[in-house]
Amino acid sequence: MNMYLTLQNPKTRIQNALKVGWSAILFIALWLGISLSVWAQPQYNFTAVGGTFTPLVGSTDFDALEGDDVIPNVLVPIGFTFVYDGTAYTQLKASSNGWVTFNTAATGSNATNDLNGFGNTIRPLLAPLWDDLDGRMTDSKASYSTTGAVGSRVFTIEYLNWGWKYSFGNTTASISFQVKLYEANGVIEYIYRSEAGAVTGTPNASIGLTKSTTGVGQYFSLSGSGTTPTVSSTVETTNISTKPATGQIYRWSPTFSVQILSPADDATGVALNSNLSIGFAYPATPPTIGTGNIELRKTTGDVLVETFTLPSARVTISGNNVVIDPTNVLECNTEYYVNVPATAIGGVGFTGITTTTAWSFTTTAPVGQPANVVTLLDENFATATGSTPPTGWVNNTIVGATQILGDLITQVIVVQQALLPLLLFLIVIIIVLVVVMKM
């Protein structure tokens, strides 16, 4: 039997190795691309439910919106701070073409729906019915209002009796809809009412919402306007032509967390026996205690004050709050900061508080003492017009305390030396008087 040994060319082996390597790199890149695309999509869950369309009463008229292809240069006040996709807003703009934006610099009404594009000039936006609409029907009315108690307020903007789609000469409304923003839980709702008029022309609407940037994964688009549409972040539906049923609600519930720190970041005058807490406004599910070490540190010198190794009896859940109870009272007039790793809190998408400035605060001054004794010694008298620094101050700083004390002692000694002759004279007089009385 003959045996043969084949030796592979080293160059071929290198080429094969490179092929395998590039294949692996390509696979990883594709996987990362998919992962990043999913991660980048808006942070909301979608549900479709039945409800009631209730027209606004006593709302603020928005006459400038009642037109064709208009976006009034009006910043509509939400009435509270609303967090959309992780960013806080207090105002918005509205287009007559069925969308509102948190981009207060937006200028174009954009009748052509495109959740995937249009650059960043009108994004991020909410699109209850983005199409070439018309707010000039016989009874068209736009308005907005904010109702409810602080903490539970609801903002509503209403497109009442709108024309869909624009058709020259048409005056009969076909659709009404509202956008609602909820302060308590960050929910967004689109609510509809079908009107008597028919949808005219060739309707091709989109319903959804977007992030601030464009592209695949940067929006959510509904597949239709029925009772159970699906949602996609990669395929936009741009040909919706059927009116949603009266009372149809499309609800977007946030999946991100909004942190409420107590004491607030950069707070001053914090009580020495204060607990520390991280509250989560929404989602509504309570947080859970995770693992890792929470650290309380002094800012000056980066001194570790206390470590809370989780789980810990001193770190508890109270409602939607994680409460940290320091073992000892804090020191007066001291700045502290708190480090909380991402693993410490679960269930709410917590990403950690890990820098010295992300959550810092300063405690109160001792009772009966000024808030900052150092300020008294470093008072900048030169900043006050016509002021004269007291003796001992040079520019804005005091000449060393030991020097002042030394000067004071010197003055006392000088006084003592000046009185010494008088004292000796008095002693002599007293001695003479005593001698005379004994004679």
pLDDT of 20 higher than 50: no
pTM above 0.75, yes or no: no
**How far apart (Å, rounded) are the C-alpha atoms in residues 287 and 278?**
10
The answer to whether the CB of 183 falls within 8 A of the CB of 80 is yes
pLDDT of 128 higher than 80: yes
For residues 261, 265, 268, 271, the Cα torsion angle rounded to the nearest 10 degrees is: 30
- What's the mean pLDDT in 213-230? 94
Residues in the chain: 439
Most confident of the following: 23-27, 317-321, 426-430: 317-321
pLDDT of 226 higher than 60: yes
Helix (H) or strand (E) holding 176: strand 175-182
Q: Which of 114-118, 152-156, 329-333 has the lowest mean pLDDT?
A: 114-118
Local structure of residue 383 (DSSP, 8 states): G
- What residues contact 371, with CB distance under 8 A and at least 6 apart? 269, 333, 364, 365
- What residues contact 162, with CB distance under 8 A and at least 6 apart? 98, 133, 134, 135, 137, 140, 173, 174, 175, 176, 177
Report pLDDT digits (tens) over 348-399.
Answer: 878 899 999 999 999 998 866 554 444 444 445 455 455 555 555 444 444 4
What is the distance, to the nearest Å, from the Cα of residue 298 to the centroid of all Cα atoms in its chain?
25
Instruction: Indicate the pLDDT class of residue 76, thresholds 50, 70 and 90.
Output: very high
For residues 7, 12, 14, 20, the Cα torsion angle rounded to the nearest 10 degrees is: -110
Instruction: Indicate the pLDDT class of residue 439, thresholds 50, 70 and 90.
Output: low
Residue ranges of E strands in 195-302? 206-210, 219-222, 231-232, 248-254, 259-262, 267-270, 276-280, 288-289, 292-298
Q: Which of 30-34, 72-76, 88-92, 153-157 has the lowest mean pLDDT?
A: 30-34
For residue 279, with 0-12 CB atoms within 10 Å meaning exposed, 13-18 middle and 19 or more buried, which class applies?
middle
More confident residue, 10 or 145: 145
pLDDT of res. 7? 43
Which residue, among 386, 127, 77, 361, has the nearest Cα to 231 in the 3D structure? 127
pLDDT of res. 376? 45
Report pLDDT digits (tens) over 256-301.
Answer: 777 889 999 999 999 999 999 998 877 657 899 999 999 999 999 9
Most confident of the following: 105-119, 130-144, 345-359, 405-419: 130-144
Report pLDDT digits (tens) over 99-108.
Answer: 999 999 999 8
Instruction: Indicate the pLDDT class of residue 51, thresholds 50, 70 and 90.
Output: very high
More confident residue, 424 or 140: 140
Q: Domains for the chain: give ranges and CATH numbers.
A: 44-254 (no CATH), 259-363 (2.60.40.1220), 372-407 (no CATH)
Instruction: Indicate the pLDDT class of residue 426, thresholds 50, 70 and 90.
Output: confident
Tally Cβ neighbours within 10 Å of residue 120.
Answer: 14
